[in-house]
Structure 1
Amino acid sequence: MKHWRPFRFPPLIDGAPLEPTAAAEVQASAADGFRQGMDAGYREGFDSGEAAGRDAGYQAGLQQGRQEGGAAARDEALARFASIAAPLDAAIGQLQRLCRDYQAAQRDEVVELVAKVARQVIRCELALKPVQILDLVEETLAALPASAHSQGEVEVLLNPEECQRIRELAPERSAKWRLLADSGLAPGECRVRGAEFEADAGCQQRLEHCVDSLREQLRADPAAQAEA
Structure 2
Amino acid sequence: MFEQARPHRFPPLSQVRSLVTTTEAGAAAPVAGQLQAAVAAGFQEGLAKGYQEGLASGREAALEQGLREGRQQGRQQASAEARREGQALLEALATPLEAMLSALKNQRAEYQSAQRKEVVELVAKVARQVIRCELALQPTQLLALVDETIATLPPARDEDIEVFLNPEELAQIRELDPARAERLQLRADAALAPGECRVRAAGREADAGCKQRLTACMEQIEQQLGASEEDSLPDADDDLLRAAA
Offset at residue 17 of structure 1 (A): 8.2
Alignment correspondent of 1:144? 152
Give the counterpart of 1:184 among 180, 191, 199.
Answer: 191
Q: Distance in 2 between matches of 1:71 and 1:124?
A: 76
Q: Distance in 2 between matches of 1:135 and 1:16?
A: 149
Q: Distance in 1 between matches of 2:94 and 2:161?
A: 71
Give the counterpart of 1:113 among 109, 113, 122.
Answer: 122
SS, match of residue 26 in structure 2: coil
Which amino acid is 2:156 matched to? H
Determine whether 1:66 maps to 2:75.
yes
Q: Distance in 2 between matches of 1:13 and 1:46?
A: 44
Alignment correspondent of 2:8? none
Alignment correspondent of 2:14? none
Which amino acid is 1:174 matched to? A
Give the counterpart of 2:26 among 14, 27, 41.
Answer: 14
TM-score, scaled relative to structure 1: 0.68
* Residues 148, 197 of structure 1: 8 Å contact kept: no
Offset at residue 138 of structure 1 (A): 1.7
Offset at residue 131 of structure 1 (A): 1.8
Q: Distance in 1 between matches of 2:28 and 2:187?
A: 165
Q: Trace 1:1-228 onto structure 2 (pairs within 5 A).
A: 14=26, 39-70=48-79, 72-73=81-82, 76=85, 94-95=103-104, 97-141=106-150, 143-144=151-152, 148-150=155-157, 153-195=160-202, 197-222=204-229
Alignment RMSD (CA, Å) = 4.2
* Residues 151, 195 of structure 1: 8 Å contact kept: no
TM-score, scaled relative to structure 2: 0.64
Which amino acid is 2:221 matched to? L
Percent identity, aligned pairs only?
Answer: 49
Q: Which 5+ residue runs of structure 1 have no aligned equivalent?
A: 1-6
Cα 1:166/1:95, change in 2 over 3 Å: same
SS, match of residue 179 in structure 1: strand
Cα 1:102/1:62, change in 2 over 3 Å: same
Cα 1:197/1:13, change in 2 over 3 Å: farther
Alignment correspondent of 1:3? none
Cα 1:88/1:217, change in 2 over 3 Å: same
Offset at residue 29 of structure 1 (A): 10
Offset at residue 177 of structure 1 (A): 0.9
Offset at residue 198 of structure 1 (A): 3.0
Offset at residue 175 of structure 1 (A): 0.9
Which amino acid is 1:208 matched to? T
Q: Which 5+ residue runs of structure 2 have no aligned equivalent?
A: 1-16, 233-245
Question: Would you say how many aligned residue pairs link Structure 1 and Structure 2?
Answer: 209
Kindly name which structure, 1 or 2, has the bigger radius of gyration based on alpha carbons.
Answer: 2
* Residues 159, 185 of structure 2: 8 Å contact kept: no
Cα 1:81/1:89, change in 2 over 3 Å: same
